[in-house]
Every structure is written in C-alpha cells, then in structure tokens.
Amino acid sequence: MEKNIDGKLKFVGSYIIDKTLGIGATGKVKLARHSKNGEKVGIKIIRKDLFYDKPSLRIKIQREISVMKLMFHPHIIKIFEVLEDSKYLFLIIEYASHGELFNYLVEKRRIQNREALRFFQQIVSGIEYCHKHRICHRDLKLENILLDENHDIKIADFGMASLSVPNAMLKTFCGSPHYASPEVVSNEPYNGMKADIWSCGVILYSLLTGKLPFDEENDNIRKLFNKIRFEPVKIPKIISANCRDLIQSLLTIEPVKRISIEKIKNHPWYKSSALPETCRTPIQDVNMASVRNQIFNPDPEILNFLLPLQLVKDQKTLTNVLSSKKPSLVRVLYRQLEWRRIKMDSLRDDKIHEAIERRKRILKQGKKENHEGLKNWKKNKNSRGFFGVKPFSRIGIYVNFYF
C-alpha cells in the first residue's frame, strides 16, 4: 500500500486508486486500474479495527470472501484477489461500470418488457448457478444487482450468503424487508433457495412497474410483514398475462408451492425471447459422490477459504474429512475452489495477453502513421515549408500509456 501527500491511498498492490464508488458500513469501494494492463476493478476497503469491536463482522467478511471464491459465472461479480496490510483488508473485485440496477430503474421509471426479460434471464442464470453450488444469496434486491459496460447483469454483495446444507433449514432473518419472503419475515426455519426465488419475483415486478409489490407509506414494518405473509400480490394489467402468471408463481406465499428454477426456465414468458449467449451453458448440480479421490495434502490457501464456511469446527477436522473415503460436501467445495483458481489464473493470463497484443497493434499503427507522416512532411516541406508534428506525437502518447 502506498499513500500520496494528502495521506490518501494511491496504490494497493499493482492497482492505482481512483475515485470513490460508494461508502458502506465497513468502508469504501474505490475504482482502481491495474498499473500494467489498465484493467479497471473495484476495491472494497475494510477497516480492520472494526473486527475488534465486532468479531462477528470478521466471520461475515471471511464467509463472503469464501463464497465469492467458490463462484465463476458471467452474471456474478468476480473476486480477483484479497490483499491486506496492518490497517485494512482489500477485496479486489470485478468493476461494473453502469452501477446499480436500482439507479437504472429510477432513471427509466419502468423497464420495457423485452429488456426486463433479458435482465431477468441473466439474474435467473446467476441464481441457478448459486443454487446448483448450494449457495443461497439471501439479500437479492435491485441495489445488489449491478450492470457492466454492456448493460449485462452482475449479481453482487454476498455478505448475507449461506451454504445450503442437505436436509437442513436456515434460521437467521436477513436481507431487506421489502424483498424478504413470507417464511423469512415470519421468523420460521426456511429454505434459502425458495427465499431467493421470492426475491426474484419482487425484482421482476419492480422492473416492469417501477414499484415494489409490497410497501407501506409510513414504513410500518408490522403492516409490511403482514402484507407479505397474507396478501396475494396485485399485479397491474399493463403486464402481459403470461408475465403476470410467472410473477404470481414467484410470489406464492407457501414455499412448497412456489415455482422452481427449472419451471421458471420452461415458463412461456421466460422463453418468449431467445436466451442471451451467457445463459446458454448448462449448469451441473454439485454431486458429492462424484468427487471420490481423497485429498491427503490439501493446499493451505484453499483450507483458509473453506474454514469460514463453518461446515466443520476446525482445520484438523477439515483435513480429516478431506482425506476420508466417505463422499462429502467439503471435498466438493475444495475441488470447486481448486478449479476456480485455475480459471481465474487463465482469465488473468488472457487479459495480460490481450493487453500485450493491443499494445503491439497500437505501436504498429503508430509506426505506420509515423511513416505516413514522414512522407506527408516531405511533400509539405517542398510546397508549404512547415513540419507535421501530429503523427509523431501520437506514438509517444500511446507508448507512455501502455507501458
């Protein structure tokens, strides 16, 4: 970490710090760019002194990092690396340049059917990936869904995420009240995946109408929760019949009757437009029995990401489970983290390669322009008597920028 004269962060690792993107309870999110290839990233800066007052916060952040490390999907924000010094923890994450879907909706007031469907298809694809990998987001809302430079969806903020362990229900009330499912606001044990599907229904309704399906003017939480628990959603007729049917299926009060991801994908409205290319790759279920090879010498770095998931009590138990002949979710997650690291290394290598090739093309173009500029100068020298400096200055700019 390096600071400038004002004491503000200038560098974090290989990244040059730029403007502030947002401020949260635990710190700031800064825009930054890689000093070598110019790649833009977001850096979530978390003050470590908060951990002393709130030990649970450390566990929450460690779990968020571990969950994000498990995932690699085009519609889920990627975490590239985690850095730290004596005062701060730095999460280097993918940058979504067009910000929150919430702000986009406020600007548009309501989203037209075709665009809303495209957004929803991408959200469902990302959530399906999470659920197939036994991850429940538990805080899906418009503010936690971002848009990248192509206006593609990026699901973010996994601070409330939890693993869905087979034959176990979740108990913690979390998330935003307006997006919370009836079983969550009733403080009952709940299936996190079913709760996520309800939140998807709230998001879809909001995109198409510009309003939340359940709201209270005076922010009366008791009345809001009663609406969510007991009142069927009222859907305006401006929404097509097929889409109304899907929203009602998503916002079904009884979790066991709520529509599944598979049925969402087969719904007529969902299929009324071709899937985006990024949503077409089939997502496989995590199968514990499929990972049979025992792990006797586990990578310490991967163990550090597995422990915060709290599937086992300590590192000794973790290594014993990994080396056991019995199939386990822990071993599946270990292999997932291992595979994901290979994919991230490949992605990073590709970006570096792209930057090098781009630089070569620009230099080559600069040489061509330099040569053409020289020919023009010779012509102009004889006829007008001045020196053409512009073609020569351009290559200097590009060399400085890309080195």
Q: Which amino acids are annotated as binding site for ATP, given as ranges?
A: 48
* Closest C-alpha among 348, 384, 391, 375 to residue 36: 348
User: What are the φ and ψ backbone dihedral angles of 149, each rounded to 5 degrees?
Assistant: -65, -25
Tell me, yes or no, if 314 is annotated catalytic: no
DSSP assignments along 10-52, one per residue: EEETTEEEEEEEEE-SSEEEEEEEETTT--EEEEEEEETHHHH
8-37 burial: b if 16+ Cβ within 10 Å, else e? ebeebeebebeeebeeeebbebbbbbbeeb
How long a stretch of residues is the chain? 403
Question: DSSP H helical segments within 276-328, as ranges?
Answer: 300-306, 315-323
**The token pair that represents 345 in the structure block:** 């290394």
**The token pair that represents 351 in the structure block:** 């970006």
The single-letter code of the amino acid at 175 is G
Asked whether 161 and 135 are in contact (CB, 8 A), the reply is yes
User: What are the φ and ψ backbone dihedral angles of 217, each rounded to 5 degrees?
Assistant: -60, -40
Output the CA torsion 104→94→335→166 (10° steps).
-30
How, if at all, do strands 153-155 and 162-163 pair? unpaired
Catalytic entry in 49, 53, 139, 345:
139
Asked whether 297 and 266 are in contact (CB, 8 A), the reply is no
**Residues identified as active-site:** 139
